[in-house]
């Protein structure tokens, strides 16, 4: 399982940066933390039963609309909750009809995979920050046994989907910043990183609409870098930061505005979700 996680994470990073993470020997205590997470979460996935109440009931209702009526039905019934998580549940419903396994079990497997990716990305970030191995292992063990994390894996709530996306955005933002300051930085890498960052922000906002208010602060950091380069007349960083800024905004906002436009067309509300008037 650990080898699979490592291969998966390295494959993603190599596809983005054209570089593999320098090889490191994973300490035994970190391996123990990752194996413990797999076993502990697997136990809860096997013995827990989803209780469909409150928000979970709302997500299930939206997933039923997507499953039976498609996206047009989703927009006509809207505005509803953010679409990404109900879409995942609708995939589980389709799989249930094909393989005759309850959609709750399929959804728990999906959510187990999201949590596992979050756990490994957390370890990558702790290693890059040069956190003491023992402390890093303690953080990973705490992440594994946290009641909030375990509950999010075995419940029909969207938070578990947001965990790895947030971590990947933080990790990729750091890589992109380093790439911007390289004198011989590769434009293909800048393009792939920028597109992926924008797409991840789009997915995150479509999972938790509140992150739409976080996105401008992320863009603000790039604007500050742009104006700093303009002030110092650093043409290399000036051009690259403007290029990256435009790509990220377009990749995140074009599909987001399309969803809002579809809501406006079919239910008269130019919003992403029913959670608030400004989303």
**Residues 19-73: tens digit of each pLDDT:** 544 545 788 999 999 999 999 999 999 998 888 888 889 999 999 999 999 999 9
Average the pLDDT over each of 86-90, 223-227, 232-236, 273-277 and give the range with the smallest value: 273-277
Residue 211 has pLDDT above 60, yes or no: yes
pLDDT at residue 87 in the model:
96
Q: What is the pLDDT of residues 96-144, one digit of tens each?
A: 999 999 999 999 999 999 999 999 999 999 998 999 999 999 999 999 9
Query: Tokens 């990183």 belong to which residue?
Result: 193
Rounded CA separation 271/68 (Å): 23
Q: Mean of the pLDDT values across residues 219-227? A: 89
- Do residues 18 and 196 lie in contact, with contact meaning Cβ atoms separated by under 8 Å? no
Q: What is the pLDDT of residues 230-261, one digit of tens each?
A: 888 888 888 888 899 999 999 999 999 999 99
Average pLDDT, the chain: 88
pLDDT at residue 276 in the model:
63
Read off the tokens for 194.
């920028």
- Do residues 37 and 144 lie in contact, with contact meaning Cβ atoms separated by under 8 Å? yes
Rounded CA separation 216/183 (Å): 27
Q: What is the pLDDT of residues 150-203, one digit of tens each?
A: 999 999 989 999 999 999 999 999 999 888 888 887 888 889 999 999 999 999
Rounded CA separation 143/108 (Å): 18
Residue 7 has pLDDT above 60, yes or no: no
- Total residues belonging to the chain: 279
pLDDT at residue 179 in the model:
87
pLDDT at residue 232 in the model:
86
Q: Mean of the pLDDT values across residues 208-229? A: 90
Confidence category of residue 271, pLDDT binned at 50, 70, 90: very high
CA 77, distance to chain mean position in Å, is 26
Read off the tokens for 224.
């500050």
Distances (CA, A) of 132 to 36, 98, 120, 127, 180: 19, 47, 16, 8, 29
Q: Phi and psi (nearest 5°) for 54?
A: 55, -125
Distances (CA, A) of 64 to 14, 19, 87, 274: 37, 42, 10, 17
Rounded CA separation 191/46 (Å): 42
Distances (CA, A) of 216 to 118, 157, 231, 249: 24, 26, 22, 9
């Amino acid at each position: 399982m650990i080898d699979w996680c490592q291969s998966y994470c390295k494959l993603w990073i190599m596809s983005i940066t054209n570089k593999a993470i320098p090889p490191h020997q994973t300490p035994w205590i970190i391996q123990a933390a990752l194996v413990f997470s797999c076993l502990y979460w697997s136990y809860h996935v096997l013995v827990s039963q989803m209780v469909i109440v409150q928000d979970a009931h709302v997500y299930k209702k939206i997933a039923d609309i997507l499953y039976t009526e498609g996206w047009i039905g989703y927009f006509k019934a809207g505005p509803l909750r953010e679409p990404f998580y109900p879409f995942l549940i609708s995939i589980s419903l389709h799989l249930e009809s094909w393989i005759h396994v309850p959609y709750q079990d399929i959804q728990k497997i999906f959510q187990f995979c999201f949590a596992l990716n979050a756990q490994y990305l957390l370890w990558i970030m702790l290693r890059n920050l040069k956190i003491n191995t023992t402390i890093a292992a303690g953080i990973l063990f705490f992440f594994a046994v946290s009641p909030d994390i375990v509950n999010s894996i075995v419940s029909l709530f969207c938070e578990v989907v947001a965990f790895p996306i947030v971590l990947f955005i933080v990790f990729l933002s750091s890589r992109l910043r380093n790439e911007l300051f390289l004198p011989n930085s590769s434009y293909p890498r800048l393009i792939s990183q920028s597109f992926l960052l924008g797409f991840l922000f789009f997915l995150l906002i479509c999972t938790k609409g509140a992150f739409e208010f976080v996105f401008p602060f992320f863009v603000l950091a790039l604007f500050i870098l742009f104006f700093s380069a303009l002030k110092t007349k650093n043409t290399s960083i000036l051009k690259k930061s403007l290029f990256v800024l435009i790509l990220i905004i377009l990749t995140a906002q074009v599909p987001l505005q399309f969803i809002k436009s579809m809501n406006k067309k079919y239910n008269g509300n130019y919003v992403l979700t029913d959670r608030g008037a400004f989303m």
